[in-house]
Structure 1
Amino acid sequence: MSEKAIAIKAQKVEEIAEQFKNSASSVVVDARGLTVAQSTELRHQLRQEGVVLEVIKNKILTRAAEKAGYAELQDIFAGPSAVAFSSEDAIAPSRILKKFADENEHLEIKGGVVDGNIANLDDINKYASLPSREGLFGQLLAEFQFPIRSFAYVVKALQEKLEEEGGEAAATNVEEATSAE
């Protein structure tokens, strides 16, 4: 092998090792048997979530994973391998690939790295069941709104009770008291 070819492969190893280090999530799959249309659809779904899918030679993957500190991944680099790298959302590759694998028997998830931790197939499936980042923010927002909404209902109920008992003057005093807080 020429020195130029060796230099090109060494550079590729460096690039992939950096991707492993800088990614929030890296999921390794075997996409053997997918049609061109299925592969295109998978890549499209991944791109929409900011995930890049690359088919990489196992020798390069092995060296890059070792260089990045993930030597334990070497066992899953058998047969054709593609890696989905996500630098933003650690859950997106797992979620998309799991859903796609459920619909297409030719896609096999092998394992990967999620938030710096080696993840086997079971771990990837667990991550895939989590809601998206936006879904988690929505749940968090709902949790923050609950006490405020409950307080508003109590104040409204108190206001209605006072209106029934004492008329409009008492209700106005409650409104003024709550708006001053």
Structure 2
Amino acid sequence: MSEASIIKKAQEVDVISEKIKESASVVVVDYRGLTVEEVTELRKQLREANVEMKVIKNGILRRAAVQAGLEGMEDVFVGPTAVAFSMEDVVAPAKIMSDFSKEAEALEIKGGIVEGKVSSVEEINALAKLPSRDGLLSMLLSVLQAPVRNVAYAVKAVAEKEEEVA
């Protein structure tokens, strides 16, 4: 192997390692058996959720994981591997991959990394069942609005009762 290709691979390992460190979550899948149309649709869904998907050689992924300080990823980086990186939303890549794997049975989740910790397939699937960030925010907003809404209803009821008396 030439020195130039070694340097190029080392740079690629550095880039992937940084991407792993900066990501809120990373989901690793086996995409073998997906049609071109299915892969295109999956990439479209991921792009809409601001998630980046790349097909990366396993050797580079193994080195990048070690460089990022992650142990136990060796079993995940075997066979055809695609990696989805999300910088913002922890749930988005897991949810999209899990939902898509129900439609396209050829897609198989192999594992992932959530907030810097190695996660199993079961943990990724459990994460996929959580509501999205927007869903959680709307739930929180609803909980915060409930007391104000109840006070408004009480004031309205008192005002209506006083109108009846008058």
TM-score, scaled relative to structure 1: 0.89
Equivalent positions of 1:17-56 (< 5 A) are 17-56=17-56
Structure 1 moving runs of 4+ over 2 Å = none
Q: Of the two structures, which has the highest relative contact order with CA contacts closer than 8 Å and spacing of 6 or more?
A: 2
2:139 pairs with 1:139: yes
Does the aligned pair in 1 maintain the 2:31–2:108 contact within 8 Å?
A: yes
Matches within 5 A, 1:154-165: 154-165=154-165
Residue of structure 1 in register with 2:90 after alignment: 90
Identical amino acids, percent of aligned pairs: 54
Q: Which has the higher helix share?
A: 1
Residue in structure 2 matched with residue 102 of structure 1 by the alignment: 102
Larger Rg: 1
- The answer to whether residue 64 in structure 2 is matched with residue 64 in structure 1 is yes
Count of aligned pairs between the two proteins: 166
Structure 2 length-normalised TM: 0.97
Query: What are structure 2's unaligned runs of at least 5 residues?
Result: none
Aligned equivalent of 1:81: 81
Residue-by-residue CA offset, 1:119-150 (whole Å, 9 max, x unaligned): 11111111111111111111111111100010
Question: 1:81-117, CA deviations, whole angstroms, 9 ceiling, x for partnerless residues?
Answer: 1100011111100000000001111100001111122
Query: CA shift at 1:71, angstroms?
Result: 2.0
What is the rounded CA distance, in whole Å, between the counterparts of 1:47 and 1:163 in structure 2? Answer: 56
- Name the SS for the 2:53 alignment partner: strand
